Amino acid sequence: MTTTTAVQTYTYLRPSAVRHGAGGSELALETSGGATPAGASAHPRFFAGFLTAPEAAAGALLSVADVAATRYNQRLLPASLDPVVTGNGDRLRFESFSGCCGVYARLDVLGAGLDGDEIGHGTTNVDVNTPLRDALARVGSADPLHLRVGPEALEVTTFDGPMVEKKVPLPDRWLRGFAETQVIAAAFDLRAEVSAAEAVRFLRALPRARTGSALWVVPAGRGLRLTSRSVPGAVCLPGPDRLAALLRVLRHASGLRLYGPPVTAAGAPVASAWEVLLPGMRLTLTLSPDPARGFSGEGAVLDALATEEAAGDAELVSVLLAWEPRVDVDELARQSGLTPRRVRAALTVLGTAGRIGYDTAEAAHFHRELPFDGDRVERHNPRLRAARALVAAGAVRPEGGEGAEEGGAGGTFAVAVDGHTHRVRSAADGVLSCTCRWWAEYRGGRGPCSHALAVRIVLRGADAVSGTGAGAGAAGVRAGVR
C-alpha cells in the first residue's frame, strides 16, 4: 500500500534548552507555527512560570519524546517528529505519536503542576533536540525549574539570530493515527487502578522482549496479573515492551490506571491505555492492538466521515470550540441546536483533522488544533475514497428485504466491484456485514470495508459525493433504494 507523505517544516527561533543563570535554571521550549484564539502564530507563547515537580516533569517530557523518536516495529529506524503542545487555559498537554503509529503518548501538566502566569490557549509544535534530552535527564529535584513555552515576550520581533529549521516527512497514516485514537479511546472505561508500589512491581517485571501474541492483564487483589487469554474485565497488553517509556517516571508515580474497551472470553486483541499518576500531572500511553499494526488503519472514523450530515454539523460545532480542556457535549448540543448524537458525530469528523482529542482520565474530549494539514486525512483515506467511487459509479443496488427497499436496516445490497459482486447485509441494529475478504478477516474489528461504507453512504441518503462529481450516479442509486 502506498503511503502519501508530505514534508513538514518546523521553524524555531532557537533550539529548546535547559539554560542556567544567576536566577536558577530555565527549561525553554521553543515553539513553531501554530493556532491561537487570535489566529495563526509563527511562535505562540503559552506559559512562563515554575514546575512544581521539576524532576518528574522532566522525566515525563522525556517519555513523550521517547515515543516521538521511536518506531516500535522497526527499532533500528528512528523517527524525528517533534511533540505537539496545547494550552487549554488550565493545563498544558504534550502529545506525540510513534513513527510506527502504534503508540500515542500524552502528558497532561495540570494546574497543580504549574506555578506562574496564566496558561494560554492554542496548539503548536515544540522543539525537542538531543542536547535538550541530555539536559532533561540531568534535572534533579533540589533546585527550582522555570518553564517557558514559547519565546520571550519581545523576542519574536527583536530576535535576529539564526533560525532553527527542521524538515521531516509527515505520512498521512501518522495524521490518521491522531484521528483514530480519539475515537477508539472514547470507548474505554477504567478497568483497574493500583498503588505506586504495585505499579513499579508490575511494570518492571514485564517481559522486555517482544512476545508472540498479546498478553492480557487482570486485577488480582490489590495488584495485577498477566494472563495469556482475554476474560471479561481484562485489559489487553499488546507488546509489553512498548510501555518502556513509563519506566522513566516510576519513582515519582503515585499510582497506575488501566483503561480498555469491554472484552469477552477468548476475544481478539484490542487497544488499551496506561496512565501513570504523577505530582500535578498524568502521563498516558495508548497502545494499538498489535505492535505491527498502527492506529492509522483501524477505520474507527469512517462511519462518521461517510455522512454529509456530520460534515455540515462539524462546521457548526467548530465555531463553538475555544480550546476547552473538557468539551461538554450537552452544552454544545444546546448551543448548536443539534442532538447529542449528532454533536458526537461532528466531533469525530473534527477529530479527523486533529481538532479534537480524548482524555480517558476525564472521559471527555478536548479541543486542540494540530499544526498540520488535517484535511489530508479524509482526502487520502483509501477505503473512503473507494466507497465514494463505488457510489459514484452506481455500483450499489438493493437485492431485497424490506429494509433495503426503504433505505433502512434489515436488507441486502449487491456491490459490484471489478466484474464480481459482494453482498452487504444491513442488520436490524444497523451493523453492516459483507462477503468480502476484509470482513472475513477482521469481522468489523478494523472498521467497515469499502463496500459496507458505500452502502452506509447510500442508506444515509448522502446528497453529494464529495470530490467525485457523482451527483447523478448517487441519485440513481438512491432512487433504486427507495
| Residue extents of the structural domains in the chain | 7-169, 181-297, 302-356+373-377, 381-481
**Which region among 20-34, 200-214, 410-424, 455-469 has the lowest average model confidence (pLDDT)?**
455-469
Q: What is the pLDDT of residue 451?
A: 92
Is the per-residue pLDDT at 2 higher than 60? Answer: no
Bigger pLDDT: 445 vs 207: 207
Mean pLDDT of 303-327: 82
Is the per-residue pLDDT at 242 higher than 90? Answer: yes
Bigger pLDDT: 276 vs 470: 276
The percentage of residues in the chain with a pLDDT greater than 70, rounded to a whole number, is 83
Whether 472 and 465 have beta carbons less than 8 Å apart is answered as no
Is the per-residue pLDDT at 377 higher than 90? Answer: no
Q: What is the pLDDT of residue 326?
A: 95
Q: What is the pLDDT of residue 480?
A: 29
Of the spans 196-205, 206-215, 365-374, 458-467, which averages the highest pLDDT? 196-205
Mean pLDDT of 259-272: 92
Q: What is the C-alpha to C-alpha distance for residues 262 and 482, in angstroms, rounded to an integer?
A: 37
Is the per-residue pLDDT at 212 higher than 80? Answer: no
Query: Which grid cell is 208?
Result: 522486555
Mean pLDDT of 27-44: 91
Single-letter residue type at 49: G
Q: What is the pLDDT of residue 146?
A: 94
Kindly report, residue by residue over 68-109, the tens digit of the pLDDT: 988 887 766 666 678 999 999 999 999 998 988 899 999 999
Is the per-residue pLDDT at 437 higher than 60? Answer: yes
Q: What is the C-alpha to C-alpha distance for residues 115 and 50, in angstroms, rounded to an integer?
A: 5
**Which region among 401-405, 445-449, 467-471 has the lowest average model confidence (pLDDT)?**
467-471
Is the per-residue pLDDT at 476 higher than 50? Answer: no
Is the per-residue pLDDT at 235 higher than 80? Answer: yes
Is the per-residue pLDDT at 157 higher than 60? Answer: no
Q: What is the pLDDT of residue 243?
A: 96
Bigger pLDDT: 295 vs 155: 295
Mean pLDDT of 46-68: 95
The percentage of residues in the chain with a pLDDT greater than 90, rounded to a whole number, is 50
Whether 372 and 354 have beta carbons less than 8 Å apart is answered as yes
Q: How confident is the model at residue 315 (pLDDT cuts 50, 70, 90)?
A: confident
Bigger pLDDT: 159 vs 186: 186
Q: Give the CATH architecture of domain 181-297.
A: Roll (3.10)
Pairs from 412-421 (Cβ < 8 Å, separation ≥ 24): 413/455, 413/458, 415/390, 415/451, 415/454, 415/455, 417/390, 417/451
**Which region among 23-27, 34-38, 245-249, 267-271 has the lowest average model confidence (pLDDT)?**
23-27
Bigger pLDDT: 93 vs 369: 93
Average of per-residue pLDDT values in the chain:
83
What is the layout of strands, in order, in the sheet containing 281-287? 39-41, 34-36, 121-125, 84-88, 92-97, 103-109, 281-287, 272-278, 255-260, 189-195
Is the per-residue pLDDT at 307 higher than 70? Answer: no
Q: What is the pLDDT of residue 54?
A: 95
Is the per-residue pLDDT at 175 higher than 90? Answer: no
Mean pLDDT of 281-306: 78
Whether 243 and 226 have beta carbons less than 8 Å apart is answered as no
Q: How confident is the model at residue 64 (pLDDT cuts 50, 70, 90)?
A: very high
Mean pLDDT of 414-419: 90
Is the per-residue pLDDT at 378 higher than 60? Answer: no
Of the spans 38-47, 302-311, 350-359, which averages the highest pLDDT? 38-47
Is the per-residue pLDDT at 283 higher than 90? Answer: yes
Kindly report, residue by residue over 393-410, the tens digit of the pLDDT: 999 998 865 545 444 556
Q: What is the pLDDT of residue 445?
A: 67
Q: What is the pLDDT of residue 472?
A: 30
